[in-house]
């Protein structure tokens, strides 16, 4: 069977600027240091190809840059432990010059987001990637979709290399991410028409298709002409799914497409994904925190933990491997056994 995706030893390292933190517990006035939590990789659609192409050292700066330089008396400015803030352990006893240098050029620490991942996806397959928060799922999706460049390894989409032939790859794929970017003042239809123009899809056809997909996904026609900012998050997520399907991609990358959807809407999106696979010969790579969804949709799933695949098989085989003494295992049990994390712990924000 034809191979849709080959991923051989893909690796991606981010360099995250290490904040200068006080050794003592910060006072309430200090609060969190500027940029705290900024390294969680939710930059999503901000990660445009040109912006970070091959510049790992700047990846952190690109997405969280402004947070790194404290503005009004941040960590660097309060080095001497005045009444306004606690003494900063890292800066204590340093010259003004070295304090300034440390503030301007903070140390970077490497984060191995994807650590040498190898797998193939067959044409027409729905391939799931499961893993705890921060395990590297979205980074892997961004590598496949040419939004990030791998530091090592090769990724090919229907034989096209994501680095050397990225324009050919982009013609074959589309991506839905959990934090889809839209023009929020424009309506769903205006956003979809814009996307259709970008992809050179006939506008009249695109409008018809958009309405039928949105109807199919349970978004009433009246909502199609309202500004997106007036639609709920779940409704916006449906528009994101519709946008990805307008272009009839041969490889559809779905990064948590149903997070935040109500159970009925989830079902509608899932059914539609199955329908698209059957009707349009689309290959799907799906990340999800919903184990039932993975079980229902995926032909095979990979479990990723700390950037590495720790299992790859059909849901049935993974469950059978874990079942003991005639007691059936669920995919959730498999996830827990492989990653050592309960689902609640791994995805506290589900439904946010």
Which positions lie near Mg ion, rule CB under 5 A? 137-138
Q: What is the largest CA-CA distance in the chain?
A: 70
Q: Is 259 in the site for ligand ATP (CB under 6 A)?
A: no
Q: Which does 257 bind (CB under 5 to 8 A by kind): ligand ATP, Mg ion, none?
A: none
Q: Is 49 in the site for ligand ATP (CB under 6 A)?
A: no
**Residue 251 CB neighbour total at 10 angstroms:** 21
Q: Which is nearer to ligand ATP, 103 or 138 (CB)?
A: 138
| Angle of the 331-339 helix axis to the 315-322 helix axis, nearest 10 | 70
CB of 138 to Mg ion, least distance (A): 3
> Does the footprint of ligand ATP cover residue 339 (CB under 6 A)?
no
CB of 11 to ligand ATP, least distance (A): 12
| φ, ψ for residue 8, nearest 5 deg | -120, 110
Closest among 339, 308, 331 to 7, alpha carbons compared: 308
Q: In the chain, where do the E strands start and end?
A: 3-17, 108-122, 126-130, 152-157, 160-161, 173-176, 251-255, 283-287, 300-305, 308-313
The distance of closest approach from Cβ of residue 39 to Mg ion in the complex, given in angstroms and rounded to an integer, is 13
Q: How far is CA 3 from CA 33, 155, 160, 315, in A?
A: 47, 12, 11, 20
Q: Which is nearer to ligand ATP, 39 or 251 (CB)?
A: 39
Using CB under 6 A, which of the segments 23-31, 55-63, 193-201, 236-244 binds ligand ATP?
55-63
Q: What is the CA radius of gyration of the chain?
A: 22
Tell which one of 5, 16, 311, 338 touches ligand ATP (CB under 6 A): 16
Cα three-residue angle 118-123-124, rounded to 5 degrees = 120
Instruction: Tell the smallest beta-carbon distance from residue 250 to ligand ATP (Å).
Output: 23
User: Would you say 123 or 308 has its CB closer to ligand ATP?
Assistant: 308
Is residue 61 close enough to count as binding ligand ATP by CB under 6 A? no
Q: Which of 5, 17, 63, 261 binds ligand ATP (CB under 6 A)?
A: 63
Residue closer to ligand ATP by CB (options 64, 78) is 64
- Crossing angle of helices 188-198 and 233-246, in 10° steps, is 30
Residue nearest to ligand ATP (CB): 41
Q: What secondary structure letter does DSSP report for 89?
A: T
Considering only 59, 189, 242, 294, the residue that binds ligand ATP (CB under 6 A) is 59
Residue 91 binds to ligand ATP (criterion: CB under 6 A): no
Smallest Cα–Cα separation from 217: which of 193, 246, 191?
Answer: 246
* Shortest separation between residue 29's beta carbon and ligand ATP, angstroms: 28
Find the binder of ligand ATP among 4, 19, 20, 43 (CB under 6 A): 43
CB of 319 to Mg ion, least distance (A): 24
Q: Which of residues 234-253 bind ligand ATP (CB under 6 A)?
A: none
CA nearest 151: which of 16, 54, 234, 33? 54
Smallest distance from ligand ATP to CB 115, Å: 10
Scan residues 108-137 and list those touching ligand ATP (CB under 6 A): 111, 113, 131, 133-137
What SS3 state is found at 22? coil
Beta strands 300-305; 152-157: pairing state: unpaired
Point out which residues bind ligand ATP (CB under 6 A).
14, 16, 39-41, 43, 59-60, 63, 111, 113, 131, 133-139
């Amino acid at each position: 069977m034809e191979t849709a995706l080959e991923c051989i030893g893909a690796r991606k390292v981010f360099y995250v600027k290490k904040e200068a933190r006080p050794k003592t517990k910060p006072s309430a006035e200090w609060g969190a240091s500027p940029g705290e939590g900024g390294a969680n990789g939710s930059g999503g659609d901000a990660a445009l190809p040109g912006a970070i192409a091959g510049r790992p050292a700047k990846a952190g700066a690109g997405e969280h840059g402004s947070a790194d330089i404290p503005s009004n008396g941040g960590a660097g400015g309060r080095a001497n432990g005045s009444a306004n803030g606690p003494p900063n352990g890292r800066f204590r006893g340093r010259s003004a010059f070295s304090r300034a240098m440390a503030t301007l050029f903070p140390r970077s620490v490497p984060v191995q987001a994807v650590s040498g991942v190898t797998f193939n996806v067959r044409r027409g397959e729905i391939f799931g990637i499961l893993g705890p928060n921060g395990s590297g799922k979205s980074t892997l999706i961004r590598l496949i979709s040419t939004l990030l460049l791998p530091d090592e390894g090769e990724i090919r989409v229907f034989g096209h290399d994501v680095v050397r032939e990225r324009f050919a790859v982009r013609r074959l794929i589309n991506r839905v991410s959990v934090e889809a970017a839209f023009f929020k003042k424009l309506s769903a239809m205006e956003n979809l028409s814009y996307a259709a123009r970008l992809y050179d899809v006939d506008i009249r056809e695109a409008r018809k298709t958009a309405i039928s997909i949105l109807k199919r996904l349970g978004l009433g026609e009246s909502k199609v002409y309202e500004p997106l900012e007036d639609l709920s998050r779940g409704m916006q997520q449906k528009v994101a799914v519709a946008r990805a399907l307008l272009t009839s991609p041969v490889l559809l990358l779905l990064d948590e497409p149903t997070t935040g959807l109500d159970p009925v809407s989830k079902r509608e999106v899932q059914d539609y994904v199955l329908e698209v696979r059957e009707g349009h010969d689309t290959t799907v790579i799906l990340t999800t925190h919903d184990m039932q969804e993975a079980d229902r949709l995926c032909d095979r799933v990979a479990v990723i933990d700390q950037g590495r695949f720790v299992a790859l098989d059909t849901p049935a085989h993974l469950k059978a491997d874990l079942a003991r003494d005639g007691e059936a295992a669920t995919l959730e049990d498999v996830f827990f056994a492989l990653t050592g994390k309960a689902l609640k712990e791994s995805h506290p924000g589900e439904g946010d």
